[in-house]
Amino acid sequence: MKLVGIVGSNAEFSYNRILLNFIAKNFKKLVDVEVLDIKDVPMFNQSDDQTNSEVIQNLNNKIMQADGVIIATPEYNHSITSALQSVLEWLSFKIHPLDEKPVMIVGASYDVQGSSRSQLHLRQILDAPGVNAIVMPGNEFLLGEVYDAFDEDENLKDAQTAQFLETCIKKFIRFINVVKVIHAPEGMQDVSDTEDLYATGAIDTTVEGIDMSADDWLEQAAEATQAVEGNTYVKLNRGLLTVNQLNHFLNSMPAELTYADSNNQFLYYNHNMEKEDMLAGRRPEQVGSPLAECHPERVFSGVSWVIQQLRTGKQDVVRTQVPTHGPDKFVVHSYQAVRDDEDNYIGINEYVQDIQPIIDWYLEQTGQQLTGGGVDAVSGATSKVDTVAGATVKS
């Protein structure tokens, strides 16, 4: 993952530059951070457009290519510096490299405030429509009394503070990934026309001449194909079972199984429960229906997207968690591509499971416990931070 760190000051000596260098050096196993200076950026003037100058274009390109941006801001007069303000004005005038870019704010200051007010201003500025960055909420890293914060090797002296900074960086990495999901073009566009959800075509195995929507499609299709059943043997790779054995075997699977073919026709589910008792309800008369008739129209785009992922081979399995079953269950829908010996996509195996019992069993067997990820939002920098206003008594 590639980040750029922007030094929010044009001063020759800046603790915020030292802070960003520390981040780049100390967390290089986690992220690749390139520290950028803004001291050569001219003062913004809308009547003297210098968007195409080398220094602004350089910032523009570096930001565009980065997965995220860390801005380190000092505090001047309860706000950010005019130098940083000017940069943000250039980057929101004719060009908009920060548009929808994940941004993390850190800051260092000489006083106890640790840039608290300027960070709030910066959030509001980054939220302006011309800038439109996506700023990570919370995780406020304020480094007060900064003249005493670093040792001679420019490392943070206080281990707790460094630990808190690491937590913030790790969260930012996760935040960037979340933002990527939100902005995946597939998630934004209506892609429902990429799949024939009404199964209007036919493949080699399609049983033609029978109304797919008919409640007794299965009975009609079985008759038309002279399908075997009951105690007739079926030869499989690798084994021999009767149809009854096969049915009971599939019904004993610890998941709800559904098969839809590459023509988007719903052909099978392991029917061992009534619809109301299932995690993802199915009715016997639905078998044979095109997928369009098994889903409400508002999800057509999502369904098509999933099928496209599998059909085109972008993914072999797409998983999604459905949180509507309450806190005692963790229900996962997995859409697994079914491929033949030549690796051609021939359909979907959707299996729906509550994996909570498996996790509980694992924890019980290994004597482990789930924790919140070791994150302590109030530790670290707080020893140097005064979030209560009124520190101005010193002045």
Partner 1 sequence: MKKFLSILGTNSDYSTNRILLQFIQKHFADQADIEIFEIKHLPAFNKPEDKTAPQEVQKLADKIREADGVIISSPEYNHSVPAILKSTLEWLSYTNQALIDKPVMLTGASYGRLGSSRAQSHLRQMLDAPELKARIMPSSEFLIGYSLQAFDDNGTLKDQQKIEELEQIFNDFIHFVDITNQLVNANETHQKQAANFSWETN
Estimate the share of the chain in helix, then strand, then coil, as percent rounded to the nearest 5.
Answer: 35, 20, 45
When asked if residue 386 is in the footprint of partner 1 (CB under 8 A), the reply is: no
How far is CA 7 from its chain centroid?
28
When asked if residue 100 is in the footprint of partner 1 (CB under 8 A), the reply is: no
CB of 99 to partner 1, least distance (A): 13
Q: Residue ranges of the alpha helices (H) in 138-253? A: 159-182, 185-188, 217-225, 243-251
Select 125 or 331, whichever has its Cβ closest to partner 1: 125
Q: Which of 45, 155, 320, 379 binds partner 1 (CB under 8 A)?
A: 45
Of the candidate spans 78-86, 155-163, 166-174, 300-308, the one that interacts with partner 1 by CB under 8 A turns out to be 78-86
Instruction: Pull the structure tokens for residue 21.
Output: 């260098």
Q: What pairs with residue 265 in β-bridges?
A: 290
Select 118 or 262, whichever has its Cβ closest to partner 1: 118
CB of 16 to partner 1, least distance (A): 12
When asked if residue 395 is in the footprint of partner 1 (CB under 8 A), the reply is: yes
Q: Which of 4, 69, 89, 333 binds partner 1 (CB under 8 A)?
A: 89
CB of 180 to partner 1, least distance (A): 25
Q: How far is CA 23 from CA 19, 106, 140, 154, 245, in A?
A: 6, 11, 15, 11, 61
Q: Could you give the 3-state DSSP secondary structure of residue 348?
A: strand
Select 88 or 199, whichever has its Cβ closest to partner 1: 88
Q: Which of 26, 85, 206, 220 binds partner 1 (CB under 8 A)?
A: 85
Of the candidate spans 20-28, 38-46, 49-57, 209-217, the one that interacts with partner 1 by CB under 8 A turns out to be 38-46
When asked if residue 130 is in the footprint of partner 1 (CB under 8 A), the reply is: yes
Of the candidate spans 54-62, 80-88, 233-241, 278-286, the one that interacts with partner 1 by CB under 8 A turns out to be 80-88
Select 121 or 170, whichever has its Cβ closest to partner 1: 121
Of 229, 224, 242, the closest CA to residue 216 belongs to 224
Of the candidate spans 109-117, 219-227, 349-357, 371-379, the one that interacts with partner 1 by CB under 8 A turns out to be 109-117
When asked if residue 237 is in the footprint of partner 1 (CB under 8 A), the reply is: no
Instruction: Look at the block and give the residue holding tokens 């005493």.
Output: 148
Q: Is 198 exposed, middle or buried (0-12, 13-18, 19+ CB in 10 A)?
A: middle
Of 309, 293, 300, the closest CA to residue 190 belongs to 300
When asked if residue 11 is in the footprint of partner 1 (CB under 8 A), the reply is: yes
Q: Which of 29, 235, 238, 394 binds partner 1 (CB under 8 A)?
A: 394
HSE-up of 313 (CA within 13 Å, CB side)? 4
Q: What pairs with residue 256 in β-bridges?
A: 352
Q: How many helices (H) and strands (E) does the chain have?
A: 10, 13
When asked if residue 94 is in the footprint of partner 1 (CB under 8 A), the reply is: no
HSE-up of 156 (CA within 13 Å, CB side)? 27
Tallying the residues shown for the chain, one arrives at 395
Q: Please provide the distance, in angstroms rounded to a whole number, between the alpha carbons at the two ends of the chain.
A: 43
Residues that bind partner 1 (CB under 8 A): 9-12, 39, 42-47, 76-83, 85-86, 88-89, 92, 110-111, 117, 121, 124-125, 127-128, 130-131, 147, 392, 394-395
